[in-house]
């Protein structure tokens, strides 16, 4: 079955520390993966998608098909990065399957 | 920058009542979606809609649910007879010219069924 797993509900780091938000997926086809972010009282918005291979707000994510992972990384966390982060898997029908989400808390 | 809008932001209803949740997608988008998030749980896909018909629906999207695009701009989700377990945040999303394009989400409607 297709599944996205984000093992951490909460990740708390200090400002300037590196961040890694974990995401693992289960999908027999060719996956398309996304990270969405939801800042406090705001809507879900796309942070990045693996096919674009962009770095947005200093975040990067590499698709590792061997480990079926798409971890989100940032070398130096900022307080404004505090938000809920969702990893999502897209099918060729457009449907998105989301992970449970990880709350990132960046402490000053 | 154009955004997806949803109304109302909050809705409280009695069990068994019908509710209609409204969405205005981004104007030149062709693909439309509804998702929901029960408190404390993950965001779940409900239905996708393209070319005036449902392209895919989940197991959650049973006969109590329906979607339509009545006037070419609004995209509605109707729950015919609400149950307590329908209480959730409902998100609308739209995407441009293909299913591969980024989905843009609305702010959500929080539905509470009493």
State how far the Cα of B27 lies from the Cα of B79, in Å rounded to an integer: 25
Which residues of chain A lie closer than 8 angstroms to B103, CB-CB?
A: 46, 94, 96
Bridge pairing between strands B10-13 and B109-113: parallel
Among A residues 15-74, those touching chain B with beta carbons less than 8 Å apart = 32, 36, 42-46, 49
Q: pLDDT tens-digit profile of B33-91?
A: 999 999 989 999 999 999 889 999 999 999 999 999 988 789 999 999 999 999 999 99
B52 neighbors B69 (Cβ within 8 angstroms) = yes
Query: Are A100 and B41 within 8 A, CB to CB?
Result: yes
Q: pLDDT tens-digit profile of A83-98?
A: 999 999 987 788 999 9
The parent domain of residue A65 ranges over 3-107
A85 neighbors A101 (Cβ within 8 angstroms) = yes
State how far the Cα of A16 lies from the Cα of A106, in Å rounded to an integer: 9
For residue B99, pLDDT beyond 80:
no
For residue A31, pLDDT beyond 90:
no
Q: What percent of chain A has pLDDT over 90?
A: 69
- Name the minimum distance, in Å, from the CA of A90 to any CA of chain B: 8
Query: Are A98 and B107 within 8 A, CB to CB?
Result: no
Residue A15: what pLDDT? 97
Q: pLDDT tens-digit profile of A48-101?
A: 988 777 778 899 998 888 899 999 999 999 999 999 999 999 877 889 999 999
Which residues have C-beta within 8 Å of that of residue B28, sequence separation ≥ 6?
B96
B5-95: CATH topology: Immunoglobulin-like (2.60.40)
Residue B18: what pLDDT? 97
- The residue with greater pLDDT, A9 or B97, is A9
Which residues of chain B lie closer than 8 angstroms to A43, CB-CB?
A: 3-4, 91, 105-108
State how far the Cα of A93 lies from the Cα of B49, in Å rounded to an integer: 10
CATH number assigned to the domain comprising residue A47 = 2.60.40.10
Q: Which residue of A has its CA nearest to B40?
A: A100
A43 neighbors B1 (Cβ within 8 angstroms) = no
B3 neighbors B103 (Cβ within 8 angstroms) = no
Q: Is B58 helix (H, G, I), strand (E, B) or coil?
A: coil
Q: Structural domain tally of chain A?
A: 1
Residue B57: what pLDDT? 95
Which residues have C-beta within 8 Å of that of residue A48, sequence separation ≥ 6?
A34, A35, A54, A55, A56, A59, A60, A61, A72
State how far the Cα of A77 lies from the Cα of B38, in Å rounded to an integer: 29
Residue B66: what pLDDT? 97
């Amino acid at each position: 079955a297709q599944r996205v797993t984000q093992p951490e509900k909460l990740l708390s780091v200090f400002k300037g520390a590196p961040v890694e938000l974990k995401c693992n997926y289960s999908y027999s086809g060719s996956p398309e993966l996304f990270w969405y972010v939801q800042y406090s009282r705001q809507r879900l918005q796309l942070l990045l998608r693996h096919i674009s291979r962009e770095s947005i707000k200093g975040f990067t994510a590499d698709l590792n098909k061997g480990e079926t992972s798409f971890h989100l990384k940032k070398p130096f966390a900022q307080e404004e990065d505090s938000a809920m982060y969702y990893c999502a898997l897209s099918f060729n029908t457009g449907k998105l399957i989301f992970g449970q989400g990880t709350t990132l808390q960046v402490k000053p | 920058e154009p955004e997806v809008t949803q109304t109302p932001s909050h809705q409280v209803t009695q069990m068994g009542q019908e509710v209609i949740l409204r969405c205005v997608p981004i104007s030149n988008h062709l693909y439309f979606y509804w998702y929901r998030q029960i408190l404390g749980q993950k965001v779940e896909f409900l239905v996708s809609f393209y070319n005036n018909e449902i392209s895919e629906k989940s197991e959650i999207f049973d006969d109590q649910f329906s979607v339509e695009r009545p006037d070419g701009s609004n995209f509605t989700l109707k729950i015919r007879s609400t149950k307590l377990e329908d209480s959730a945040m409902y998100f609308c999303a739209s995407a441009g010219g293909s299913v591969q394009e980024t989905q843009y989400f609305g702010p959500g409607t929080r539905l509470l069924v009493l």
